[in-house]
Amino acid sequence: MSSTLFRTKKVEQSILDTEEPEHALRKSLSALDLTVFGVGVIIGTGIFVLTGAVAKNNAGPAVALAFVVSGVVCALAALCYAEFASTVPVAGSAYTFSYASLGELPAWIIGWDLVLEFALGTAVVAVGWSGYIASLLDNAGWQLPEALGTREGADGFGFDILAAALVLVLTAILVVGMKLSARVTSVVVAIKVTVVLVVIIAGAFFITAGNYDPFVPEPQPVEAGRSLDAPLIQLMFGWAPSNFGVMGIFTAASVVFFAFIGFDIVATAAEETKNPQRDMPRGILGSLLICTVLYVLVSIVVTGMQHYSELSVDAPLADAFKATGHPWFAGFISFGAAVGLTTVCMILLLGQTRVFFAMSRDGLLPRFFSRVHPRFKTPHRPTILLGVLIAVLAGFTPLQELAALVNIGTLFAFVIVAISVIILRRTRPDLHRAFRTPWVPVLPIVSVLASLWLMLNLPAETWVRFAVWMAIGIVVYFLYGRSHSRLGRQQETTVKDVTRPHRGDNG
């Protein structure tokens, strides 16, 4: 049984599967397209929303250091992703990489994890977009009818039709084709980066040096409420929960990590890239570097414009300009944030559909979803299915605490990819690697430890929820995936051919 659970799929077979006409995706993306996709999904909710919350509650002006910590963890993982994406240019990202190195069950687990990560991420961003649109309309004096508005009531019950509508429109764009998606993303990313540069350049003129004092506020003990609210590492070692100080920076880093989610999605588009061996590393590493620099600069400027204790939790960038008496800038930033979140939502949805498509093509999910559209050459069936489900999720579900669940899923994927690089280097040293992760196995091991450290700084209740989702996934695998595995059936056929008596054999 263990041999079937950890059977690996050869890299050569994964690449051959992409050439089957009914499963072949159109190759239309360049290195620039990939970089734009990466920047488009990374710059979003994190920088426009989370900056204020973590500065006010966890790190103070040292939130800039939290972005550096998260960026370093992502950079370590990005080097591992770059090697895999250039060596195994197949849709599915960490799922495909794990299948080639760790085996079928670990691949299923990481695929199941990515489905959760991208679904919740898409829903969270869609709800954030809805809030910005409603706010912009309200500032312009236009009130949405109550039936069309965002959730009403303190309990969050209702239906956010704006969030649901956004997901459905983006689903239609993704069905039509990747090139159209890339063009839409390019325009929106240009707007979004312009807004971020305006914040940095214009905001620099309103910095007050006194707002940086103290840069790292003294630790402040806090009531944890329910014990599971505290970071897991504090519960493990019996530490009293606290904000600010050095531990506050690490806690903030585990939260703002959400702002970096997206560069790994570039890897899911490997199969649709013209020259993945050359362009995937450029797209992954380039987008991450650009966004890390912008994040650090924005956080330094915003905490310099307004004291961290006074920053807005909902719209820190816009409200910082309001506090300096420049509401026009605030309106411009809100518009840019709303436009920018559109691409974040679309690329998260793109990533999920590609993982789902790859799992379906391997038989671990129904193969009905692995056939591409005859005209657009896109996986239209999983795109439509997941788009509708996420639209419902975004419309109905309160999502205030789900960002942490997205973070732990991404960090878990980072751990798996780093381990996979080490294993595949040992088991398949003969593979051509257009990009090689430096200092193997040291760098991947450091990547694993760094990701685990951030995971331990997430609330214990996040670990509980994550464990429940993983348990459900394992049940689904044993009830369906294991018996329908395409690789498993191919191996069974091979065994039967070898053991079947041939004509003329005795017995």
Q: At 89, phi and psi to the nearest 5?
A: -75, 70
C-alpha distances out from residue 298 to 61, 179, 200, Å: 11, 31, 6
For residue 443, pLDDT over 90 is answered with yes
Domain extents for the chain?
27-494
For residue 19, pLDDT over 80 is answered with no
Task: State the burial class of residue 186 (Cβ atoms within 10 Å of its Cβ: 0-12, 13-18, 19+).
Answer: middle
For residue 280, pLDDT over 50 is answered with yes
Mean pLDDT of 9-23: 81
CA 74-80-86 angle, 5° bins: 125
- Tell me, what's the pLDDT at 383? 93
Q: Which long-range contacts (CB under 8 A, 24 or more apart) does 227-232 make?
A: 227/460, 228/459, 228/460, 228/461, 228/464, 229/459, 229/460, 229/461, 230/459, 230/460, 231/456, 231/457, 231/458, 231/459, 231/460, 232/455, 232/456, 232/457, 232/458, 232/459, 232/460, 232/463
> Predicted confidence band at 268 (pLDDT cuts at 50, 70, 90)?
confident
> Predicted confidence band at 124 (pLDDT cuts at 50, 70, 90)?
confident
- Tell me, what's the pLDDT at 76? 93
Tell me the average pLDDT of the chain.
83
Mean pLDDT of 54-63: 91
Q: Which residues of 383-397 are buried (b: 16+ CB within 10 A; e: fewer)?
A: bbebbeebbebbbbb
CA 163-165-169 angle, 5° bins: 120
- Tell me, what's the pLDDT at 275? 86
Q: What is the DSSP string of 94-145?
A: HHHHHHHHT-HHHHHHHHHHHHHHHHHHHHHHHHHHHHHHHHHHHHTT----
pTM of the full predicted structure?
A: 0.82
For residue 489, pLDDT over 80 is answered with yes
Greatest mean pLDDT range, 6-15, 296-305, 461-470:
296-305
Share of the chain above pLDDT 70, in %: 88
For residue 67, pLDDT over 50 is answered with yes
- Tell me, what's the pLDDT at 503? 52
Q: How many of the other CB atoms lie within 10 Å of CB of 140? A: 9
Mean pLDDT of 476-488: 93
Q: Higher-confidence residue: 446 or 278? A: 446
For residue 346, pLDDT over 90 is answered with no
**How does pLDDT run across 164-205, given as a tens digit for each residue?**
999 999 999 889 876 656 677 788 888 888 889 989 999 999
For residue 156, pLDDT over 50 is answered with no
Greatest mean pLDDT range, 141-155, 220-234, 370-384:
370-384
> Predicted confidence band at 80 (pLDDT cuts at 50, 70, 90)?
very high
Q: Higher-confidence residue: 27 or 506? A: 27
- Tell me, what's the pLDDT at 507? 41
Q: Report the alpha-carbon distance of residue 442 to residue 306 in Å, rounded.
A: 41
Torsion of CA 281, 89, 415, 298, to 10 degrees: 40
- SS3 call for 197: helix
Mean pLDDT of 405-414: 85
For residue 82, pLDDT over 60 is answered with yes
Q: At 242, phi and psi to the nearest 5?
A: -150, 155
Mean pLDDT of 205-220: 92
**How does pLDDT run across 299-329, given as a tens digit for each residue?**
999 999 999 999 987 678 888 888 888 878 8
> Predicted confidence band at 154 (pLDDT cuts at 50, 70, 90)?
very low
CATH 1.20.1740.10 is right for the domain spanning 27-494: yes
CB 386 within 8 A of CB 349: yes
> Predicted confidence band at 108 (pLDDT cuts at 50, 70, 90)?
very high
Greatest mean pLDDT range, 224-238, 397-411, 485-499:
485-499
Q: Which residues of 10-31 are buried (b: 16+ CB within 10 A; e: fewer)?
A: ebeebeebbeeeebebebbbbb
Q: Which residues contact 157 (CB under 8 A, 6 or more apart)?
A: 151
Q: Report the alpha-carbon distance of residue 233 to residue 64 in Å, rounded.
A: 22
- Tell me, what's the pLDDT at 499? 64
For residue 435, pLDDT over 80 is answered with yes
Mean pLDDT of 367-376: 88
CB 262 within 8 A of CB 348: yes
* DSSP strand pairing (242-243 vs 220-221): antiparallel
Q: What is the DSSP string of 347-382?
A: HHHHHHHHHHHHHHHTTSS-GGGGPPPTTT-S-HHH
Greatest mean pLDDT range, 72-81, 175-184, 258-267, 455-464:
72-81
Give the tokens for residue 447: 């990547």
